[in-house]
Structure 1
Amino acid sequence: MFAKEGLEGVVAARTGLSLIDGEKGRLSYRGYSIHELAEHSSFEEVVHLLWYGELPTRAQLDQTRRDLSSQRGLHADAVEILRRFARDASPMDMMRTVVSALAIHDPDVHESTRESNLRKGIRLTAQLPTIVTAHERLRKGKDPIPPDPGLDHCANYLYMLHGRKPEALSARALDVAMILQMDHGLNASTFAARVTAGTLADLHAAVTSAIGTLKGPLHGGANHDVMVMLRTIGEVDRAAEFVRMELLQKKKIPGFGHRVYRTMDPRAPILRSLAERLGKQMGQEKWFQISVVIEKTCKELKNLNPNVDFYAASVYYLLGFEMDLFTPIFACSRAPGWIAHVIEQHTDNRLIRPLEEYIGPPERPYVPIDKRA
């Protein structure tokens, strides 16, 4: 019996949520191509698709929008936590802590039926952007902006961050970016959520586990590192040489390569287009232009392809998010996927308990303390 490092290549669950074809570079949710969903769908519609298995009717979509918009507020105790630790806690630490605290007051916290998980899922999905934006404003000495029930999920997210209703392209860009990151198979945070759900812990516990896992830089931090790189380069004519020097020193270029895809990540070209359009509209084309040179150089020198994080960094930055908010956006995007996986895990649950390969010393006799070297 031998361990597979990182469980690479091990099939650990069955799912009907997303299908990844790493060889052909394809991704679909519930049978629908990510390209079609990004072009035609909305955040709320894809939430319904993942949770219920089918695209919603107009009436169902309207209901999902109403449900989400009505649940954006936070309990007073959660707001007090945000105010108390605003200047000391990182955005991901704050999100993890407040989600755990929200469980205390959730009326369904101890119920794990499909119906109760859907109710909790609506509340958590709606509340996460409120947590992120309230913390961001409080740590800058500003008051949080109450949600606007008249705005869709992503437009409201930007409104609570900036205090003004976003341009149509900005709202749509965030909508598409969040759709693209809503689910992606058994990634580390989703696996953590399913392991927690497999013990029959509550939904808030599973989402808290997922947030804690996403905080790790090997999972959720790549888009932040991409933007650090872009700002370090600073000018288009420095990009190619920067990449050459990094590769010469055997350093990794953030936002390139993927554990599953052997070709282009299908989400990357969609985000590339968004980054270009946003840059032109805002008069900040530099970040896109630098990114294009980096992509071209990585392809020429090492045959490397960008992943979802590479152009997402420019999109988030152009939308006005601070760099340490990039991973929280990822969490807000992935939360409906985590919730769908928890519901799926509970549908036919079995405790997830893999084996291990022991590599320690063989059995040996106990040595009294006065006889030890």
Structure 2
Amino acid sequence: MFQKGLKDVIAVHTKIASVDGDKGELRYRGVSVGELIATHSFEEVAYFMWNGGFPGESELRLLNEKMIEGRELPLHIVAILESLPADMPLMDVMRTGISAYAHTKFKDETIENQAIILTAALPVIVARHFRNQQRQTIVESDSTLSHTANYLWMLTGVVPNKFQIEALETYLKLTMEHGLNASTFAARVTISTESDLTSAITSAIGTMKGPLHGGAPSGVIDLLEKMGTQENIRPVVEGKMKNGERIMGFGHRIYKTEDPRSILLRDKCISMSGEDDWLDLATAAEKEIISLLEEYKPGRKLYTNVEYYAAAIMRSIDMPPELFTPTFSAARIVGWTAHAIEQLSDNTIFRPQSVYVGELVN
């Protein structure tokens, strides 16, 4: 049976994550994502995704040591990054930097350790090139900081506060995995040829770059900035609806109810009420927009998606739009690597069929 784009075709049995659009549920290895992010750090959730269990004290220590090691980019990769044009888009820089991990020392690592190293390295690649684009001095990693805090430190050169770390880490944990999306499928297809993890992640980044998949939620930022204050929410949104414009950040192709990730991000924003005007504006605007959507588009059940609150959080920590998709990728690499490891554990090469629909000559 032909399904354009393989829509709804089951291609993989996985133990990594499940997405139930009807119930509005996202689970990592059977555990509700809300339960995970409330009680575990980025590092602990990543370990859980890779190994199927949580680390003990010694395992967590070894994981942190390997991640700190991964932040130190090999000299040849640093040289490559320094040779790239400053105006080269970050997604292209990430793809190029990751592809350069095809060297002997890296290949001698287990695939699990390779996953840790690439996960630790990706934010470093992003931060170095971003500061190069801004003509700012490169900030080296700080081994005393967590994965999330170190990323913010390398981007800004300022030690982040608790609010910034919590906001970004919530986002990173919620977006590290979401089933067999396009970039994850690309990683599994590549690794299914018995290629290497570096090639699989390079494929995934190239796929994430496409605006239909990893496009930055800049439309939400534009919406919030146009509102500016809570008093302007209704007139701005009504104006867009009367003009037939789409309200960015609402509706999802999978979830028929609220996106569970947006609920959790909203809860984080509400818990920080009064800390940031943008988060307060976003939570107030959501209520008004949903009410207006029901009024103007009854029965459509258009709820907030993850991009809405992701944009609000990114804006609140002063992260510019060009960093949105790279930061999304820095989270999703955990899922990509977990899927690649799972694919190799019971591998069959992907080889779907095609049907020729062109003309026959003679």
Match for residue 38 of structure 1? 37
Task: Please report the TM-score for the alignment, with normalisation by the length of structure 1.
Answer: 0.90
Is the contact made by 2:216 and 2:321 (CA closer than 8 Å) also made in structure 1?
A: no
- In the TM superposition, residue 279 of structure 1 has moved relative to its aligned partner by 6.2
Match for residue 124 of structure 2? 130
- Deviation string for 1:278-304 (max 9, x for gaps)? 562145444544454334433443330
Match for residue 325 of structure 1? 323
- In the TM superposition, residue 67 of structure 1 has moved relative to its aligned partner by 1.5
Describe the shift of the 1:279–1:227 C-alpha distance in structure 2 as closer, same or farther (beyond 3 A): farther
Is the contact made by 2:286 and 2:304 (CA closer than 8 Å) also made in structure 1?
A: no
Describe the shift of the 1:124–1:230 C-alpha distance in structure 2 as closer, same or farther (beyond 3 A): same
Unaligned runs of 5+ in 1: 366-373
Give the CA RMSD over aligned residues.
Answer: 2.0
- Deviation string for 1:91-132 (max 9, x for gaps)? 11111111112x2335243x7xxx621121111000111111
CA distance in 2 between counterparts of 1:86 and 1:166 reads 29
Paired AA for residue 45 in structure 1: E
Describe the shift of the 1:9–1:314 C-alpha distance in structure 2 as closer, same or farther (beyond 3 A): same
- Deviation string for 1:139-172 (max 9, x for gaps)? 1111111111111111111111121221112212
Describe the shift of the 1:7–1:84 C-alpha distance in structure 2 as closer, same or farther (beyond 3 A): same
Match for residue 86 of structure 2? 87
CA distance in 1 between counterparts of 2:273 and 2:138 reads 28
- Deviation string for 1:61-111 (max 9, x for gaps)? 22212221222011223223333335221111111111112x2335243x7
Is the contact made by 1:299 and 1:305 (CA closer than 8 Å) also made in structure 2?
A: no
Match for residue 160 of structure 2? 166
Match for residue 103 of structure 2? 105
Match for residue 177 of structure 2? 183
Other structure's SS at 2:27 match: strand
- In the TM superposition, residue 222 of structure 1 has moved relative to its aligned partner by 4.5
Match for residue 59 of structure 2? 60
Describe the shift of the 1:106–1:336 C-alpha distance in structure 2 as closer, same or farther (beyond 3 A): farther
Is the contact made by 1:19 and 1:29 (CA closer than 8 Å) also made in structure 2?
A: yes
Describe the shift of the 1:31–1:99 C-alpha distance in structure 2 as closer, same or farther (beyond 3 A): same
Describe the shift of the 1:202–1:250 C-alpha distance in structure 2 as closer, same or farther (beyond 3 A): farther
Describe the shift of the 1:240–1:217 C-alpha distance in structure 2 as closer, same or farther (beyond 3 A): farther
Other structure's SS at 2:268 match: helix
Is the contact made by 1:45 and 1:61 (CA closer than 8 Å) also made in structure 2?
A: yes
Match for residue 298 of structure 1? 293
Does residue 50 in structure 1 map to residue 44 in structure 2?
no
Match for residue 307 of structure 1? 305
Give the fraction of aligned pairs with identical amino acids, expressed as a percent.
40
Paired AA for residue 83 in structure 1: E
- Deviation string for 1:153-197 (max 9, x for gaps)? 111111111212211122122111111001110011101111111
Is the contact made by 1:267 and 1:307 (CA closer than 8 Å) also made in structure 2?
A: yes
- In the TM superposition, residue 21 of structure 1 has moved relative to its aligned partner by 1.3
Does residue 211 in structure 1 map to residue 209 in structure 2?
no
Is the contact made by 1:278 and 1:318 (CA closer than 8 Å) also made in structure 2?
A: no
CA distance in 2 between counterparts of 1:300 and 1:167 reads 40
Is the contact made by 1:17 and 1:50 (CA closer than 8 Å) also made in structure 2?
A: yes
CA distance in 1 between counterparts of 2:345 and 2:123 reads 28
Describe the shift of the 1:356–1:33 C-alpha distance in structure 2 as closer, same or farther (beyond 3 A): same
Is the contact made by 2:226 and 2:236 (CA closer than 8 Å) also made in structure 1?
A: no
Paired AA for residue 297 in structure 1: L
Paired AA for residue 163 in structure 1: G
Does residue 252 in structure 1 map to residue 246 in structure 2?
yes
Describe the shift of the 1:52–1:358 C-alpha distance in structure 2 as closer, same or farther (beyond 3 A): same
Does residue 350 in structure 1 map to residue 348 in structure 2?
yes
- Name which of structure 1's ranges 275-284 and 4-13 shifts more when overlaid on structure 2: 275-284
Paired AA for residue 196 in structure 2: D
CA distance in 2 between counterparts of 1:232 and 1:86 reads 34
- In the TM superposition, residue 8 of structure 1 has moved relative to its aligned partner by 1.7
Does residue 266 in structure 1 map to residue 260 in structure 2?
yes
- Name which of structure 1's ranges 218-227 and 303-312 shifts more when overlaid on structure 2: 218-227
Task: Please report the TM-score for the alignment, with normalisation by the length of structure 2.
Answer: 0.92
- Deviation string for 1:34-61 (max 9, x for gaps)? 1111211111011111111112222222
Unaligned runs of 5+ in 2: none
Match for residue 369 of structure 1? none
- Name which of structure 1's ranges 55-64 and 78-87 shifts more when overlaid on structure 2: 78-87
Match for residue 217 of structure 2? 223
Describe the shift of the 1:296–1:70 C-alpha distance in structure 2 as closer, same or farther (beyond 3 A): farther
- In the TM superposition, residue 346 of structure 1 has moved relative to its aligned partner by 0.6
Describe the shift of the 1:195–1:250 C-alpha distance in structure 2 as closer, same or farther (beyond 3 A): farther
- Name which of structure 1's ranges 278-287 and 211-220 shifts more when overlaid on structure 2: 278-287
- Deviation string for 1:274-332 (max 9, x for gaps)? 33455621454445444543344334433301111110111112122111100011000
- In the TM superposition, residue 353 of structure 1 has moved relative to its aligned partner by 1.2
- Name which of structure 1's ranges 138-147 and 162-171 shifts more when overlaid on structure 2: 162-171
